[in-house]
Amino acid sequence: MVDIGEKKHVYRKAKASGYIKLLPGTISRIRKGELPKGDVLSVARTAGVMAIKNTTDIIPLTHPIPIKGANIDFEVQEEGVKVEAEVKSRGQTGVEMEALSGVMASLLTVWDMVKGFEKDDEGQYPDTRITDVKVTEKVKNDHN
């Protein structure tokens, strides 16, 4: 682990995003709320926030940090779902990994909840994919 003991506590924010490509029928079911496992976006939002709060349990060398705010947003698009996570903290290290963890957990939860509709006749997922996971913003500010 990197020693952050001498670093100042400052306001930090990070945003990350990612995308899951889904079949048109699956998108329709998400929009109509017609999935056997329940409300996909609500469950995926909860999974994302849990991942943000538990990043140190998922990624071994990250520091536990005080999360001051966490938000997961979704945009259901024509060919998939875009996920955006925003994490805020006041601490000694950034929150990029927390934001990325939130995005990934949300995307994986969407996949899990819709997988029955994404499989082909052989039980494979030829069209489903998670893409474009990235940090979209990083803020470090001594004055907030």
The active-site residue, picked from 112, 120, 121, 127, is: 112
Helix ranges, 54-95 (H) = 55-58
- CA 53 to CA 36: how far, in whole Å? 28
Decide if 112 is catalytic.
yes
Burial (Cβ within 10 Å: 0-12, 13-18, ≥19) of residue 78: exposed
Q: Which residues contact 121 (CB under 8 A, 6 or more apart)?
A: none
Which residues does the annotation mark as catalytic?
112
